Amino acid sequence: LLAATEKKNSQPFVEWLKPYLPGLSAGGNIVMTTLCSTNPVIHVPITVLNAVRTENGEPYKFYGNGISPLTVRYIEKIDAERVAVARSLGVEITDILTGINSFWPVKHDNLFDALHENEVYQRSMGPKSFNFRYITEDIPYGIAPVCKIGRLHGVDTPYTEALVRFASLLIGRDFMAEGVSFRKGDLSSVL
């Protein structure tokens, strides 16, 4: 999904990109397309919970031996918070499992299998440092905004907030202070 800041520009932009990205379609608004992104919800916990491997630069299969049922349960918790924050804004989005099952021909009953058994995901290697987009982009622009919007709209995000705070303490950066900031009403013009 793609959305322009001004909704009327979304479809023309999609049409312009269609020859290069045939699977692209116009989304409702930029809040919806941003909150639809499941990559930060998946990337951050796996990277942080593999801190020793990441810090040591060890090669490991990100979805192969980088996840466990416990890791996936945590991902499901922060995914539920992402969906709840979107709903608080009147935006309907799907959970990660539904999204993954819509991308691939093989359908899975649970998120662990969807991530662990996908042949394409099996080739993905984990990052070899914390100076990697799974941290430097996915935290300040992916999951921290979920916490910030949740605070403004009365949606509790304890799992997401704990992950952001832990990553900040672990790496020595204040990811809540980085990225985007919101005030009550900021998003009303784009919804």
- Residue 176, pLDDT above cutoff 80: yes
Yes or no: say if 114 and 153 are a contact pair by the CB < 8 Å rule.
no
Place of tokens 């430097």: 136
From the list 120, 97, 99, the residue with the least C-alpha distance to 110 is 97
pLDDT digits (tens, 9 = 90+) for 53-70: 999 999 999 999 999 999
> How does pLDDT run across 146-165, given as a tens digit for each residue?
999 999 999 999 999 999 99
- Confidence band (pLDDT; 50, 70, 90) for 108? very high
Query: Where is average pLDDT lowest: 74-78, 114-118, 170-174, 182-186?
Result: 182-186
pLDDT of residue 186: 64
What is the average per-residue pLDDT within 43-56? Answer: 97
- C-alpha distance from residue 135 to each of 31, 39, 79, 105 (Å): 21, 11, 17, 30
Position 184 pLDDT exceeds 80: no
Instruction: Find tokens 């990205």 and name the residue.
Output: 21
Task: Tell me which residue of 45, 146, 25, 38 sits closest to 99, measured CA to CA.
Answer: 38
Mean pLDDT of the chain: 92
Residue 84: CB atoms within 10 A of its CB come to: 15
pTM, to two decimals = 0.88
Q: Quote the pLDDT of residue 130.
A: 96
How many angstroms from the chain centroid is the CA of residue 3? Answer: 17
